[in-house]
Amino acid sequence: MSILHRIYDLEQQINNTNELNFDYDVLSLSKQQSVAQNPSPKTSTPIKRCWDETTTAKLITNQRQEIIPTSTNHVTASELTTKASTGSGTKIFAIGLILGIVVSGSAMIGVVVVWQNSAPPSTLCVNNTSDRKLYNNEFIYSPTSQVYAAGMLNNQFGIYRAYGYGNVTSTTIWTASQSTTSITCHLQLQTDRNVVVYTTTSSIAVWAAGVNNGGSGKPFCLQMLDSGNLIWINNTGSTIWQTNSAQTG
């Protein structure tokens, strides 16, 4: 064989080798792209060439996209945070505000109803262990229309003409014969059954009903009647003392 033929054969072998290498490269690259685009965790065919960083990143990204459903209702974490801080937050605030107004309004209505339906006291009672006291501008009222009020006004224990709760006049129906009204006094209903007016500072008695019996018949109650009479009764309802101030006409 001539030298020229030898050279020609070598060139052909080189070309064939280059073509095989090229075909191998193309096949490998095709396999890389196929795996990158359609990764499958079940694929066990080894890849002969190494992945570069870019291809690896693409594969990881594609794998994550396979794991996370790409439905139209899917919301990302950032979108969820945004919606929670805008639309949902606004709805929650609005609902909370409405509920707050409703609850507050109901509470206010309840307070008004209770206040309107609660009549002022017409009776004041003492139990077995402690006395009860009425100070200046404290009264019990006749139950039906609160036209009479019994209590302390300007240091004087008495029954006064009234025009409803809190509207007590200085017009007297009956007053206790106190030894003084020039210093601060209060009325005291006692567990010993007595009714006494004391000076508040020095606790000196300036008037007493004089019905002390040591406390037999407790509890005792002071009651303002619609007639204008004020009575002091025991636990059986028997009158112990009264003002005899019932109004006629």
Domain membership flag for residue 237 = yes
Domain membership flag for residue 95 = no
List pLDDT tens digits, range 100-146: 544 455 444 443 333 444 689 999 999 888 999 999 999 999 999 99
Q: Are residues 163 and 54 in the same domain?
A: no
Q: Tell me the mean pLDDT in the region 15-36.
A: 52
pLDDT at 119: 80
Q: Are residues 160 and 57 in the same domain?
A: no
pLDDT at 13: 64
pLDDT at 102: 45
The larger pLDDT score, comparing residue 46 to residue 153, is at 153
Name the residue among 242, 248, 247 with its Cα closest to residue 230.
242
Domain membership flag for residue 202 = yes
Domain membership flag for residue 147 = yes
Domain membership flag for residue 166 = yes
List pLDDT tens digits, range 171-218: 999 999 999 999 999 999 999 999 999 999 999 999 999 999 999 999
Q: Are residues 140 and 62 in the same domain?
A: no
Tokens of 94: 């609005």
Q: Tell me the mean pLDDT in the region 56-74.
A: 39
Quote the CA–CA distance of 97 and 93 in Å, as a whole number: 6
Domain membership flag for residue 72 = no
Q: Are residues 63 and 172 in the same domain?
A: no
Contacts of 198 (CB under 8 A, 6+ apart): 185, 186, 188, 204, 205, 206
Instruction: Tell me 32's DSSP state.
Output: H
pLDDT at 66: 39
Tokens 């009549």 sit at which residue?
A: 119
Domain membership flag for residue 54 = yes
CATH (domain of 228) = 2.90.10.10
Q: Do residues 178 and 156 touch, judged by C-beta distance below 8 A?
A: yes
Domain count for the chain, please give it: 2
Domain membership flag for residue 233 = yes
Q: Are residues 60 and 138 in the same domain?
A: no
Q: Are residues 238 and 128 in the same domain?
A: yes
| Cis geometry, peptide bond prior to residue 219 (ω within 30 degrees of 0) | yes
DSSP letters, 214-234, are: SSTT-SEEEEE-TTS-EEEE-
Tokens of 71: 């439905």
pLDDT at 129: 87
Tell me which range, 10-19, 22-31, 86-95, 202-211, is most confidently predicted by mean pLDDT.
202-211
Q: Tell me the mean pLDDT in the region 209-235.
A: 96
List pLDDT tens digits, range 157-169: 999 999 999 999 9
Q: Are residues 131 and 62 in the same domain?
A: no
Please state, for a pLDDT cut of 70, what percent of the chain lies above it. 52
Contacts of 126 (CB under 8 A, 6+ apart): 132, 189, 190, 191, 218, 219, 220, 221
pLDDT at 128: 82
Quote the CA–CA distance of 240 and 247 in Å, as a whole number: 20
Q: Is the pLDDT of residue 52 over 60?
A: no
* Burial zone of 101 (CB within 10 Å; 0-12 exposed, 13-18 middle, 19+ buried): exposed
- For the question of whether the overall pTM of this predicted structure is more than 0.75, the answer is no
3-state secondary structure of 163: coil
Structural domain harbouring 156: 123-242
